Structure 1
Amino acid sequence: MAHLLGAENISVTFATRTILDGVTLGLEEGDRVGMVGRNGDGKSTLMRLLAQRSTPDDGRVTKRRDVTVGYLNQDNVVDGGSDQNLTVGAAIVGDQADHEWASNPKIRDVMGGLVAEVDWHARISSLSGGQKRRVALAKLLIGNDDVIMLDEPTNHLDVEGVAWLAEHLKQRWRPTEGGLLVVTHDRWFLDEISTRTWEVHDGIIDGFDGGYAAYVLARAERDRMAAVVEGKRQQLVKKELAWLRRGAPARTSKPKFRIEAANALIADVPEPRDSLALSKLATARLGKDVLDLENVSLELGEKELFRSVTLRLAPGQRLGIVGVNGAGKTTLLRLLNGEVAPSSGRLKRGKTVQTAILSQEVRELDDVNHLRVTEVIEQEKRVLSVGGKEVSASQLVEQLGFTNQRQWTPVGDLSGGERRRLQLLRLLVGEPNVLMLDEPTNDLDTDTLAAVEDVLDGWPGTLVVVSHDRYLLERVTDSQLALLGDGKIRDLPGGVDQYLQLRRDAASGGMSGTPLAGQSTGTNGTTAAPGPGGPSPEETRQARKDLTRIERQMTKTGSQIEKINEQMSEAGSQSAIDFEKMAGLDTKLRELQSEQEALEEQWLAAAEVLGE
């Protein structure tokens, strides 16, 4: 494959922190690379360097002479401030006549996928942030650049827009042509478009073959191997320290040598990764009734957002909401939270309900911008119960990923991802029993997302999530609803895939799905009426039970397989290998793998009934 561009021994330092330290890498024709890493570790910095929008402190960036690069940063602006006064059409296609650009199928596809619902004659300055993002992305994609670099391209895109963008990028070039570099927290999107993954961490870049799923598996194996090495290191350290404790205090020369040996042994032990351990926070008791919208209609200006809809939230329900931009997803959360009064109908609220809502803009932190991170949490509580232990606010924010130095940073100086982490923590320590999250994945890196999902996965209250992140919705919610902009709410037994099919049907003039308005609801607030030829409600319930049971069995079997792999690894590392023991372990491993395959087939059969 021909070389497109690359970096040779580049380094970047901000103040006293080294972001990139002697990094060398290259992008070849046919590469589709997704970048992952913690917030602040240098993903966007590396992309700007490779796009030659900034220069490194040391080293150089190289590019083949004839290669052109298209670059989209995180700002929602079309290149050049003067473009704010242009119309949408002029900003995207310039002065081309309609018949010129409309004759190009690629441009028509981009227009239909990104800006079909944006007013062609509107001024850029009058658009919302999401619309500006779509216009900027459309302008980039109608070009013919050899390399495309996208920094968080899925921000402000709905589920349908993300699916369209993934398909467009997969079909844009032949497999051995062009180059793509993407920074995104959307793990489904990474899996769809990436053939390689770069992990940016600690000033270096580690490369992995495959998309996000392959990267997670490879990193898990890397960490497992590191854990084996670390385990041996710790055993040696313990022996050294035990020897020191047994040694006579009067003996100086030999203990001194031993101390130096022990220090050398642990000198390169890395600092532990930031962790998030907020599970099992105490929550107020929920009664039988939580939040019910009964026959609710709502008009905003001349637009009717909801028409006689009924939605019932049950204790412990985990509900995901998807929908087209402007359909009222955020407004639905505000209705449930009592911030917006319906035009007709009513909100019924349980007596013990305590709600908390995370907005997209994290406006809730504006009034504490002058305070420091620890002080914000101390305003809520100075001592908190986490995992059955009492911890101080300072200890808790450290577990959330704020180092000692960052704990004393004013809230106004935090990054977007840090602000969202802080506000989520602030909400949780307030002990709500109904938590509503509006696009919670914005500005969070994949490691933080995984940690947040662990918290939400074990959170015992009622959870409502509005998100375009399919990975998040499938992980933390059990059912999904769709808002299609027609004033109704539709149940999605088939999840996000069913929503995308609904949108395709709507575009072709048809409509399917199970509307909620005017129909009786079950305990989870959704109807279970099957489509033509679909499963019965009883079959659907049984399939969901089967899925839960099978997933538990698969988790148990997976743990047993992992344990046997560790035993085989330990046995294989010994000087005298016990071949009989290894044979027994291998036989057991094959049996468990066969059992796991059978469980996977059962899972697929149950998932097919549910349309998942």
Structure 2
Amino acid sequence: MNYLSVDKLSKSFGDKSLFQEISFGIDQGQKIALVGINGAGKSTLMKIIMGLEVADAGEVVFNQTIKVAYVHQNPVFDGQLSIYQTIFSESTSEVLNVIDQYQKALLVAETGKDNSDDLNVLMEQMDALQAWDYEYQVKEVLGKLGLHDTELPIGQLSGGQRKRVALAKAILEKPDLLLLDEPTNHLDLATIEWLEDYLSKANLALLMVTHDRYFLEKVTNEILELDAGSIHRYLGNYSYFLIKKAERREIEATEQEKAKSLYKKELDWIRRQPKARGTKAKYRVDAFEETKSKAFQHREEREVELQVSSRRLGSKILELDKLSKRFDAKVILDEFSYIFKKGDKIGIVGPNGAGKTTFLNMLTGAISPDSGLVTKGQTTAFGYYKQEEDSFDEAKRLIDIVKEIAEVVTLANGSVITASQFLNQFGFPPKQQHTPIAKLSGGERRRLQLLMVLIKTPNFLILDEPTNDLDIVTLNTVEDFLDNFPGCLIIVSHDRYFMDRLVDHLFVFQEEGKIKDFPGNYTDLREWEKEEAGKKTLATSQTTKKEASPKAEEPKAQNTAKASYKQKQEFVAIQAEIKENEEKKKALIEKINAGTEDHEQLMSWSQAIQEIDDTLENLEFRWLELSELDGIMD
């Protein structure tokens, strides 16, 4: 069943054309990501589909029988309403409306007013709609998204919290088609993982703009690339898209070379013809113009090239001695000490509100600790890329903004280039450099913000959510640069791929202001946490068994630790079953990556992979239990 049709859509801003006569559709079960470089028009296209922008031409048609939900990049709500009121206001879900009425009736009853008749009617409606289970789901979704105090006014929430409210509202509407614009921005890692898991299993169609590569890999089964004003479709996940995109570029380059060769031959023919050409030759003239257009087609790659020099670091870089910080009763930091070394690449993880940004501000001296010392080396020069977007003079031109800091820039190889050349390396071509800041897209503004940090040649980089709004091409280039950055690096990011590639250990913010220095990247941390959780579960299970039979505990203590013949057989069988399921999963992944136009088949394969993952989790847990027994390997 078709849910959404985009037919011959075109949009331009002044002389800049974003896309021309693009067409695509979304069917039941399809989970599609829209990707492209910053400024390609992704957010504009999403706004047109959501009804927030008007196209120059073409139309967007939704199936009138389905329910559609939207989550905007920066959602706006009535600041006077509470979180709970916002989620339930203007709801199109009958179940949500009944739950809302029931909750309000309970509040009335608590005041002592007799409204038993109303409550009885609402309870019958709750029964008829099977809303009791749904009420539990409402609480679960709000809890997973960190929305515990639902009476807080929207006006008191941060941008990230408003994003969570928008996500909760959309999910609880139980839509057939969900549209998401940068859903992972401003979410912490635990929430992103929950959302990723939910969307990969949910029975709905999905269209989203995101730069989170792990999210793309797990959730989507199709990629739409907005490139040079056209739409290119890839049936498969992100890995498949990368392979097929490279193949497409090679084919296009070959075709362009052929067109250039043909153009030279046709140009010679055109020059030899008399000015008054006959009708018979008109078709060849038209074909010549088409060949010329193809041969000299300009592709705006916007490749970013980072080659900025950095200052030399001395032997003493930055030392933290027993730092402590609290706000009222909340402890942010409790006597934390660390001595930074050359080449340190540290990731910072922890839930929103744990104090990560406060910690960064203490390092740079913007905030003072309650106690303890921050000692900076004489040669240490900070470059601080903040989570909040810098405020630029909207009327000023790009080139003027950069020249205020430096007329020339020294590169890593020692060569010197002009401010204009430096902008060009950052993906701002000469033509764009003389346009006002007001015309930049969100991603382009963030790229400019990064440029303004690096132009000062820091040797200690602090990046607070640097991946927000940056396209995948820019992210890959930034990663290459940071991978070879000779100074110290601290990263706070919700982008797990970004963290995994760049950091070698983590500061993990825990309760009561404690920070754990973990040796490894984010994936290593998650694996370690799972292992620890498994050990705790196993210990709890063994303790429960002992408490259930206290009399038998003493005489059987040695016997229960020895593996029986039956347990050994089970252990061998589980190993074989794990291997068999892993092979099945690998085969299904290969099928998905190969692509198919049968979207129901894609959904079936995805569900089968999830079922295998659940089975493997149970098998591996049982394998872990048995592996603790003495003699199991004999």
Superposed, which structure 2 residues align to 1:74-473 within 5 Å? 74-78=73-77, 81=78, 84-94=79-89, 95-98=100-103, 103-104=133-134, 105-116=136-147, 118-173=148-203, 178-230=204-256, 267-268=293-294, 269-276=296-303, 278-363=305-390, 365-366=391-392, 368-386=393-411, 388=413, 389-473=415-499
Q: What's 2:21 paired with?
A: 22
What is the TM-score normalised by the length of structure 2?
Answer: 0.70
Q: Is the 8 A contact 2:504 2:520 kept in 1?
A: no
Following superposition, the deviation at residue 432 of structure 1 comes to 0.7
Q: Which structure has the larger Rg over C-alpha atoms? A: 2
- 1:332–1:137 Cα change, 3 Å: same
Contact 1:277 1:386 survives alignment (8 Å): no
Determine the C-alpha separation between the residues in 1 that align with 2:293 and 2:138: 57
- Report the CA distance between 1:54 and its aligned residue: 4.5
- CA gap of 1:507–1:292, structure 2 versus 1, over 3 A, is same
SS in 1 for 2:6: strand
How far the C-alpha of 1:235 sits from its partner, in A, is 7.6
Cα offsets for 1:317-362 (capped at 9, x unmatched): 2111111001111112112212221111111211210111011113
How far 1:253 moved relative to its partner? 5.7
- Once residues 454 and 180 of structure 2 are traced to their aligned partners in structure 1, the CA distance between those partners, rounded to angstroms, is 33
CA separation of 1:282/1:487 partners in 2, compared to 1, >3 Å: closer, same or farther? same
Find the aligned partners of 2:10 and 2:307 in 1 and give their Cα distance. 42
CA distance in 2, matches of 1:508, 1:91: 39
Q: Is the 8 A contact 2:3 2:26 kept in 1?
A: yes
Partner of 2:580: none
Contact 1:279 1:387 in 2 (8 A): no
- The normalised TM-score by structure 1 is 0.73
* 1:5/1:50 contact within 8 Å kept: no
Coordinate RMSD, CA, aligned: 3.3
Distance 2:367 2:505 in 1: 24
Q: How far is 1:425 from its partner?
A: 1.2
Report the CA distance between 1:493 and its aligned residue. Answer: 3.5
| Cα distance in 2 for residues equivalent to 1:505 and 1:335 | 34
Distance of 1:291 and 1:34 partners within structure 2: 42
Q: Which 10-residue stretch deviates more, 50-59 or 19-28?
A: 50-59
Letter in 2 for 1:73: H
| Partner Cα distance (1:274, 1:383) in 2 | 24
Shift of the 386–495 alpha-carbon distance from structure 1 to 2, 3 Å rule, reads closer
Q: CA-to-partner distance for each residue in 1:33-80, whole Å, 9 max, x for gaps? A: 0110122322223223334455433222222221111011112324xx
Per-residue deviation, residues 517-573 of structure 1 (Å, max 9, x unmatched)? xxxxxxxxxxxxxxxxxxxxxxxxxxxxxxxxxxxxxxxxxxxxxxxxxxxxxxxxx
3-state SS in 2 of match to 1:115? coil
Matches of 2:179 and 2:346, distance apart in 1: 34
Deviations 1:199-225 (A, max 9, x none): 012221101122222211211122233
Which aligned pairs between 1:45-60 and structure 2 lie closer than 5 A? 45-60=44-59
Alignment partners' CA distance in 1, 2:139 and 2:530: 17
Show the 5 A alignment for 1:567-578.
none
CA drift at 1:284: 1.1
Letter in 2 for 1:323: G
- For 1:138 and 1:507, the matched residues in 2 are separated by 28
Amino acid at match of 2:229: G
Quote the residue 1:41 is aligned against. 40
List runs of 5+ in structure 2 lacking aligned partners.
90-99, 107-125, 276-285, 538-634
State the secondary structure of the residue aligned to 2:513.
coil
Tell me the residue number matched to 2:543.
Answer: none
How many angstroms apart in 1 are the aligned matches of 2:220 and 2:441?
A: 27
Deviations 1:291-319 (A, max 9, x none): 12121111123321000112232112211
Contact kept, 8 Å, 1:274 with 1:399, in 2: the verdict is no
Distance 2:153 2:300 in 1: 46
**Against the structure 1 CA distance between its residues 315 and 70, is the aligned structure 2 distance closer, same or farther, given a 3 Å change threshold?**
same
C-alpha spacing 1:435/1:234, structure 2 compared with 1 (3 Å) = farther
In 2: Cα distance, 1:454 partner to 1:235 partner: 36
Shift of 1:385: 2.9
CA distance in 2, matches of 1:413, 1:43: 15
Structure 2 counterpart of 1:418, which letter? E
2:87 and 2:165 in contact (8 A); partners too: yes
Structure 1: gaps spanning 5 or more residues: 245-251, 512-612
Q: Name the SS for the 1:333 alignment partner.
A: helix
State the partner residue of 2:510: 484
- Secondary structure of the structure 2 residue equivalent to 1:486: helix
Greater shift, 34-43 or 323-332, is seen at: 34-43
